[in-house]
Structure 1
Amino acid sequence: MSIAASTSTDKIIVDKSRSHRNKAVSKTVRATRQRLQTGSSAPSGFDREMLFLHIDSVLHGAIAMPLLVGLIAAGGVYLSEDPGILAWALMTLSAHAVTIFLARKARRENFGAEKVATWRRRFLAAQVLMGLCWAVFATQDCPACGDISFGLFEGTGLLIALAATAMGTFLLRNALLYTFVPVVVALGFSSLAAGDPVHIGLTGILSLSLVFLVFMTGRMNRANVHILSVQSEKDDLIAELEVAKSMSDEARRRAEEANLAKSRFLASMSHELRTPLNAILGFSEVMSTEVLGPLSNPTYKEYTSDIHRSGEHLLNLINEILDLSRIEAGRYELNEEAVNLVEIAEDCIGMVQLRARGKNITIGQQFEQGMPAVWVDEKAMRQVTLNLLSNAVKFTPAGGEITVKAGWTAGGGQYVSIRDNGPGIPEEEIPIVLSAFGQGSIAIKSAEQGTGLGLPIVQAILAKHNGQFILRSKLREGTEAIAILPSRRVLESLPPVEDVPSPARRRKSFA
């Protein structure tokens, strides 16, 4: 199984000390999320919005009712030739003016949720007043016109008024009932008292129409409440996203500040640590080699060797941390040149050969011949190869075998492969060893523990070269690490361009 290495990122711990500043917003977001999850969109939550929509509807359609009343009054005067119907028209227009006055006053006041019930009652009272006016119209009579003609006129006028009222007041719940129940009652009493079949039929038609329109306006009202609910949910979700974005921006800013502080710290500590370490390494080497004279006590000589080895280990650790820090900060610059990959592998084998012989480890070589140079950073590629070889020597048991290969990839690139027959890595631990400071269980139990930065540095350097790092391992079977360079890094050898002489030059040479 192969796992391609990806660029590792630091896990930044976000400072949450600012959470109290967003406490109110977070509380609102939690309440909104709970309401969305339970799916409760109670109409009572939008009474104010619905009432303001009704106010806007009244103000925008203010001219419709006076036109309807005027047409009915004109038709009544024409049929009955009784100017008394004009008094009804004046009374109806006055009632409509009350509704307009209430709407304008409510718009100017811009009341809050606590006054919604009061203003709703006022508008319903205005609708009752309007209904009484239509009830007066329904009880009008014209003996000279004929029952059928005037009944047809009244029925037509009331049905048009019913439809107009339904369209204009569906945003105000029960407004249609408050308006036309008085009309139906008055028309019913008048029909029963007179026993007129025309008015009885008109009462039945008006009642059925009222029931149907009440049902339809109720559905339209609920549809508008649902639209408001969806709009509110969308606004709340947008607000939640804005809060999340704000928190994300703050977390990113703090992460950037922390990363900058880390870079500054490492840059400062590199000088502060390297200076005394160089002195420790130098003096401990002088003492261990007895340059200034022999040490009388052999234990002291052993201590100086331990000091020197510990100092070298600490210096290597500092160098690896600084290398990884530069790579993550994007400050690792490549000094690219034409390099032969096989030569780098051979040189690195020579560097670790002494340690391998000390553990009786055999290093085999399988290199393809005649491979062209690659355009890479020579120092970086040496570091990659040396890190992989050092890991192989470190974890291969005494008497083991390491095989180093270099050759072509299927895509035309070049690779270096280092395979050992060591204890291997469990499959679930491969992502751990590829992360910064990550060590597997075998490395933790080993006497030669490293820093856990070798493989992350390898994959980061290869990523800078647009390459790939593959780690294959099976428990108790060994490990294979493969560093791959892409085909565009390979420098193909081209034949030299011959200088073809011009015809003039050829004639001159023949002459």
Structure 2
Amino acid sequence: PAPGVAPQPCGPDGRCGALAAALERAQAENRRLEIAYRAASEFLARMSHELRTPFNAIIGFAEMMGREIYGPLGHERYAEYAHHIADSANHLLGLMSDILDASRLQHGSLSLDEAPIEVEPVLSSSAAMVRPRAGQSLIGIDLEVEPALRLMGDERRVKQTVVNVLVNAVKFSHPGGRVRLAGYRDFDGGVVVEICDSGIGIPEDDLERITLPFVQAAQPGRRAQDGAGLGLTLAKAFMELHQGSLKIDSILGRGTTVTLRFPPERTLAAS
């Protein structure tokens, strides 16, 4: 090199030295992100336990009081209040679970616990969970499931997906209406679950955005709906984790059909 000029490791422009420095910075950032990812995963797991424990206690004690297991409460309004406490705690527990799941999805820490699933019991249980809410508006849930339908997946997440969509169907149905929950094998062998309602429908402009976090469909003349706006977001994410899809077809004023489609590779032979 010329007098007074420092030698360059890879050439006169020092390009290799710059690349090495950039690589070192990238590796350091990657290590930092890995630490943050582990910390976030541990925090979410800890918070899930810490929050569920008191909620479950509130729900359990409120239900015991409502049933007057240890004797009469006195005034009948106390039993009514106990039921309200349990309902409100269940609602908050559901919101909390959705928010924690959304955080796990954002951090990429949500995985599936896969095992063979009998579809009919899962759909039947999902319908049973939503029927009390549907009954408040005299809405019926009709269940139609093809016999011996089985698939490989995460039963808890599949049920959570179906329940989230069913709750939406009931929420936007007319009083006295009906919601249809069906499960069948598609022409390609994949398992399909359909949730159909004849309610108020979804505006076309909202169809693409209602699966985004915290977004709810605009319904002119109706009050804002309860919930965090995460139900369809999580349902779509859970289907994608199963390599499946969630499709929404809706006609304003006539109703909505949500189709959950699992790939044929997840279909299992009848036991």
Q: Which runs of 5+ in 2 are unaligned?
A: 6-12
| Structure 2 residue 228 is matched with structure 1 residue 451 | yes
Alignment of 1:341-352 (within 5 A): 341-352=119-130
* Structure ID, larger Rg: 1
Offset from partner CA, 1:309-336 (integer Å, 9 cap, x none): 2211122222233334445533423231
Paired with 1:419 and 1:248, the residues of 2 have a C-alpha distance of 49
If the length of structure 2 is used for normalisation, what is the TM-score? Answer: 0.76
| Structure 2 residue 203 is matched with structure 1 residue 426 | yes
Amino acid at match of 1:332: S
Offset from partner CA, 1:71-122 (integer Å, 9 cap, x none): xxxxxxxxxxxxxxxxxxxxxxxxxxxxxxxxxxxx7688xxxxxxxxxxxx
Do the aligned partners of 1:263 and 1:325 also contact (CA within 8 Å) in 2? no
Taking structure 1 as reference, are residues 377 and 445 closer, same or farther at Cα in structure 2, changes over 3 Å only? Answer: same
Taking structure 1 as reference, are residues 297 and 474 closer, same or farther at Cα in structure 2, changes over 3 Å only? Answer: same
| Structure 2 residue 69 is matched with structure 1 residue 291 | yes
Q: Indicate the SS of the match to 1:462.
A: helix
Amino acid at match of 2:95: L
Q: Indicate the SS of the match to 1:308.
A: helix
| Structure 2 residue 104 is matched with structure 1 residue 311 | no
Which structure's relative contact order is higher, taking Cα pairs within 8 Å and 6+ residues apart? 2
Q: Which runs of 5+ in 1 are unaligned?
A: 1-106, 111-231, 495-511
Identity of matched residues, %: 35
Paired with 1:423 and 1:417, the residues of 2 have a C-alpha distance of 18
Q: Indicate the SS of the match to 2:48.
A: helix
Taking structure 1 as reference, are residues 275 and 488 closer, same or farther at Cα in structure 2, changes over 3 Å only? Answer: closer
Please say which of residues 252-261 and 460-469 is displaced more in the overlay.
Answer: 252-261
Paired with 2:255 and 2:120, the residues of 1 have a C-alpha distance of 23
Taking structure 1 as reference, are residues 466 and 444 closer, same or farther at Cα in structure 2, changes over 3 Å only? Answer: farther
Which residue pairs with 2:264 in the alignment? 487
Amino acid at match of 2:86: H
Which residue pairs with 2:55 in the alignment? 277
Which residue pairs with 2:46 in the alignment? 268
If the length of structure 1 is used for normalisation, what is the TM-score? Answer: 0.43
Instruction: Give the structure with the larger strand fraction.
Output: 2
Q: Indicate the SS of the match to 2:184.
A: strand
Taking structure 1 as reference, are residues 340 and 318 closer, same or farther at Cα in structure 2, changes over 3 Å only? Answer: same
Offset from partner CA, 1:280-322 (integer Å, 9 cap, x none): 2233223333333333445544433332222111222222333
CA offset at residue 398 of structure 1? 0.3
Paired with 2:210 and 2:42, the residues of 1 have a C-alpha distance of 27
| Structure 2 residue 264 is matched with structure 1 residue 478 | no
Which residue pairs with 2:188 in the alignment? 411
Paired with 2:237 and 2:186, the residues of 1 have a C-alpha distance of 20
Paired with 1:484 and 1:490, the residues of 2 have a C-alpha distance of 11
Paired with 1:276 and 1:443, the residues of 2 have a C-alpha distance of 38
CA offset at residue 417 of structure 1? 0.6
Taking structure 1 as reference, are residues 444 and 305 closer, same or farther at Cα in structure 2, changes over 3 Å only? Answer: farther
Taking structure 1 as reference, are residues 362 and 288 closer, same or farther at Cα in structure 2, changes over 3 Å only? Answer: closer
Paired with 1:473 and 1:302, the residues of 2 have a C-alpha distance of 38
Taking structure 1 as reference, are residues 490 and 418 closer, same or farther at Cα in structure 2, changes over 3 Å only? Answer: same
Taking structure 1 as reference, are residues 286 and 447 closer, same or farther at Cα in structure 2, changes over 3 Å only? Answer: farther
* Count of aligned positions: 256
Taking structure 1 as reference, are residues 470 and 434 closer, same or farther at Cα in structure 2, changes over 3 Å only? Answer: same
CA offset at residue 485 of structure 1? 0.8
Q: Indicate the SS of the match to 1:472.
A: strand
Amino acid at match of 1:315: L
Paired with 2:75 and 2:140, the residues of 1 have a C-alpha distance of 38
